Amino acid sequence: MPDLIQKLPSDWPAFERQHVWHPYASMVKPIPAYPVASASGVRLKLEDGRQLIDGMSSWWSAIHGYNHPRLNAAAETQLADMSHVMFGGLTHRPAAELAARLIELTPAPLNRVFFSDSGSVAVEVALKMALQYWQARGETRRTRFLSFRGGYHGDTIGAMAVSDPENGLHSLFSGTLTQQLFAPRPPSRASAAFDSRQLEQLRKTATDHREELAGIIIEPLVQGAGGMHFYHPDYLRELRQLCDQQGLLLIFDEIATGFGRTGSLFATEQAGVVPDIICLGKALTGGYMSLAATLTREAVASGICQGDPGVFMHGPTFMANPLACAVASASIDLLLESPWRARVQTIEQGLQAGLIPVSELPGVADVRVLGAIGVVEMKQPLDVTRTQAALVERGVWLRPFGKLLYTMPPYIIDSNDLAHLTDTMCEVVELVAD
């Protein structure tokens, strides 16, 4: 056996540290990555035997916790049939089963489904759908998008171009990206009543650029990686009206908010509006594997296909991967059979009560909770390594970023674990806020 492989078993973390990239990480001065041996329920088990309560749901995705027997069984059953076949010229039941569920669950009339590999790609697909729709109608000048400051839609080039143009994630590439248009961040939900004048600048930009705009893209209710910012559902109602007035396609990126996280199955339900295109990902497979979907209305789909070249120009190798589709259907069934609404409400109450103790601390700028999302915003950026070490020492897994220490735990977390999670957050905030 080659040397490198033979040496590996005992020393794999050192090897990995030197050779494998992590998200937003340095290869020269990497911060620690904790080796995980297994995960079950709401617990991550580290290689050294320590167990951590997971407050991240692996970035919004593991809503049922880890190693769930129903999801394991769905994967195993599908594996025995086939793990993958190409989707070009072939089809399979797992794709149809999942499409039926998504059409049923998302607001009518979103009933044309495109499966892809990840959230970022689902956003690329949504943008391409809008572009091809206008192309097909002969409105070839409509090539730009209006988006929002503080927005985040993924790491691929097209998704980056509609994400906040100045935040740390994407500003480096601003010279390369397509120049899109940006409206101010929707005002915070905490700031009293909604006032439709809050959309004035947005309306002006949309009107001034109407002829070159293909659509507007937004994360409904919660801007996630751009600051865990919550805003009023009425904002989305006004936005829908604006799109109707100006003839623009409205794209909702529900990749983070979808499947119950904000208290409704989809955030869009709280506003009572339907977008023209919706992007889903993350919790779609209950965190088991990467899969995403972009849904649109029949009129948009047929509009795209009436123009030249008569087809939608996208087709990833792993499109509608059967293994992922089977697990996604099982995850949706599990969610719908569970008392998820009550669980999310209980988590919301637990987070509200549990995080209150730090809200008045001098180093804390804001504490906010929406559904099963709890956020402590500090006045200064957190030291990730130090904060994470303090959390891990206390048996909790969270990944702080910027000024934010936040949690979105699996829905199955019980009250003791939730209390330990919030107590630990408070303790660590006090510790690092000095």
Task: Extract the tokens encoding 212.
Answer: 């070159």
Please identify which residue in 94, 154, 220, 263 interacts with ligand PMP, judged by CB under 6 A. Answer: 154
Residue from the set 62, 199, 225, 249 that interacts with ligand PMP by CB under 6 A: 225
CB of 210 to ligand PMP, least distance (A): 26
Site string for ligand PMP, 89-128 (x = CB under 6 A): -----------------------------xxx--x-----
Query: How many whole angstroms separate alpha carbon 291 and alpha carbon 424?
Result: 33
Per CB under 6 A, 373 contacts ligand PMP = no
Output the six-digit token pair for 397: 């897994």
- Any idea which residue has 């259907």 for tokens? 329
The verdict on whether 244 is a catalytic residue reads: no
Extended beta strands in 175-227, E state: 181-183, 213-218, 222-223
* Beta-strand pair 110-116/292-297: antiparallel
Tokens of 235: 């904002």
Q: Is 258 in the site for ligand PMP (CB under 6 A)?
A: no
Token reading at 188: 């915070």
**Residue in 24, 195, 204, 383 annotated catalytic:** 24
Catalytic residue among 54, 155, 253, 276: 253
| Distance (Å) of CA 283 to CA 21, 35, 399 | 24, 23, 18
In the numeric block, which tokens belong to residue 224?
Answer: 């996630």
Size of the site for ligand PMP (CB under 6 A): 14
> Among this protein's residues, is 155 annotated catalytic?
no
* Site for ligand PMP contains 253 (CB under 6 A): yes
Of the pair 34, 401, the CB lying nearest ligand PMP is at 401
Q: Are 279 and 252 in contact (CB under 8 A)?
A: yes
Q: Are the CB atoms for 302 and 137 separated by under 8 Å?
A: no
**Span of 4-12, 106-114, 136-144, 251-259 interacting with ligand PMP by CB under 6 A:** 251-259
Instruction: Report which of 226, 218, 282 is spatially closest to residue 251, judged by C-alpha positions.
Output: 218
- Check binding of 255 to ligand PMP (CB under 6 A): yes
Q: Does 280 bind ligand PMP (CB under 6 A)?
A: no
Q: Are 112 and 297 in contact (CB under 8 A)?
A: yes
Is 219 or 276 the residue whose CB approaches ligand PMP more closely? 219
Nearest residue to ligand PMP by CB is 119
Residue with Cβ nearer ligand PMP (135 or 163): 163
Q: Does the footprint of ligand PMP cover residue 57 (CB under 6 A)?
A: no
- The total number of residues shown for the chain amounts to 434
Give the residue carrying structure tokens 């949706």: 332
Residue 286 found at the interface with ligand PMP (CB under 6 A): no
Residues β-bridged to residue 5: none
Asked if 221 touches ligand PMP (CB under 6 A), the answer is no
Nearer of residues 97 and 155 to ligand PMP, judged by Cβ: 155
Known catalytic membership, residue 164: no
Torsion, Cα 295 301 307 312, to 10 degrees, reads 40
Of 123 and 421, nearer to ligand PMP (C-beta) is: 123
Q: What residues make contact with ligand PMP under the rule CB under 6 A? A: 118-120, 123, 152-154, 219, 224-225, 253, 255-256, 281
Please give the positions annotated as active site: 24, 152, 253, 282
